[in-house]
Structure 1
Amino acid sequence: MRKQHASLDAVPDLIARWTGLLGLKTEARYQPSGDEEAFPNRLLITGPDADWLAASRGQALDALQFLVHEAQGEREDTKLAYLDVKGARLFRMQEVMAMGRLAAERARELGSHTLGALSPRERRWVHLVVSREEGLGTESEGTGTFKPVRVFRK
């Protein structure tokens, strides 16, 4: 028997239904991030109870995003929905990408520059922004979920 998966179009209704079952009043709609390669399918969650999802450093939002990804059954970034409340994740993406650009400048000057420990998604943003620069490379260092990223001249 084949398992049914939620499409991108079905995710906003799925979010509203799941948060409704928790007693939260929210709405979800797709809103472009401005850099679809770095932050595709940004789903902005609004409503009177959306702040509850962002509380405690977004742990509930992370859990909800995990469940959405499981329901989607996809593993390709371009086909997954990424949740955001009050633009916090969009702001973090912009912040991390700016850090990556600064690290690229420093690496051009000094030969290499290492950023502090970042989450897998944040490391992806740094790798992406540096890959857009000629003559530079990146590598994640260490083990575990949160790792530093070294930017270096090739």
Structure 2
Amino acid sequence: MQDLKTAAQQTQDFLKMLTTTGGMKLRFRITAGAGAADPDGLEDRLIYVELSGPDADLLTARDGEVLRALEHVCAKILRLEPDEHDRISFDANGFKAARNRVLLDTAKEGIEAVKTSGRPYSFDPMSSRERRMLHLALKGAEGMRTESSGEGPSRFVVLYPENWRNRESDERANKIRERFRRR
């Protein structure tokens, strides 16, 4: 990311345009630098935007779809590479902070399920950004590893015991090898 002061100014300009020309009734507060750090450690943010006001509920409707869209547009304005999109984070009325807490709780549930069963645990499908955050939340799970599976909007995270091998595919592979050995 370029100079933080410039990036924060560009973010402010974008939000001013949204509230004046776009007519959205929103207040915003931009925090840049160390003060923008995510207390949960799920995002590597350098700029944090808190939105409130009469139209804030519009941003959080449909599971925060408009909030994510504004965040994405701002990341494009700042010319951030896709792997840098978590450098800027928008929240409205604490919506995203609450979602982060849900992700952390979900991660704990998954860890407990894998510990108890010794089998992989599949999480619900989620956006690429939330999958990345879930991977980060699960990173410290001792004796476990994560992978994403599925495609498009159906993509989800799977938490595996560290040395898990898919027994069914191993059995299938062994049967195929055995057939070729007989020939």
TM-score, normalised via structure 2 length:
0.70
1:87 alignment partner in structure 2? 94
1:118 Cα deviation after fit: 1.6
Give the counterpart letter for 1:24 in structure 2: M
> In the alignment, is the contact (CA less than 8 A) between 1:12 and 1:27 conserved in 2?
no
Aligned pair partner of 1:34 in 39, 44, 52: 39
Alignment match of 2:55 (pick from 46, 49, 56): 49
Distance 1:120 1:78, change over 3 A: closer
Return the alpha-carbon distance in structure 2 between the equivalents of residues 13 and 28 of structure 1: 11
2:107 pairs with 100, 103, 125, which one?
A: 100
> Over aligned residue pairs, what C-alpha RMSD do you find?
2.3
User: What's 1:126 paired with?
Assistant: 134
**Conserved in 2, the CA contact under 8 Å of 1:84 and 1:90?**
yes
* Shift in CA distance, 39/102, structure 1 to aligned 2, threshold 3 Å: farther
Q: What is the alpha-carbon distance in structure 1 between the residues aligned to residue 41 and residue 27 of structure 2?
A: 22
- Percent identity over paired residues: 25
**Structure with larger RCO (C-alpha < 8 A, sep 6+):** 1
The answer to whether the 8 Å contact 1:139/1:149 transfers is: yes
Q: Which consecutive residues of structure 2, in runs of 5 or more, have no partner in the other structure?
A: 163-183
Provide the secondary structure at the position in 1 that maps to 2:150. coil
Spell out structure 1 runs of 4+ moving beyond 6 A.
none
Q: Distance in 2 between matches of 1:86 and 1:58?
A: 11
- How far does residue 39 in structure 1 lie from its aligned partner after superposition? 6.0
Alpha-carbon distance, 1:36 to partner: 4.1
Larger CA Rg, structure 1 vs 2: 2
Task: Give aligned pairs, total.
Answer: 149
- Structure 2 distance, partners of 1:80, 1:58, is 18
Query: What residue number does 2:72 align with?
Result: 66
More helix by share: 2
Q: 1:120 is aligned with what amino acid?
A: S
Higher mean C-alpha deviation, range 19-28 or range 64-73: 19-28
**Preserved contact between residue 27 and residue 45 of structure 1 (Cα < 8 Å):** yes
1:149 aligns with 2:148: no
> Is the deviation greater in 14-23 or in 124-133?
14-23
Residue ranges of structure 1 left out of the alignment (5+ in a row): 1-5
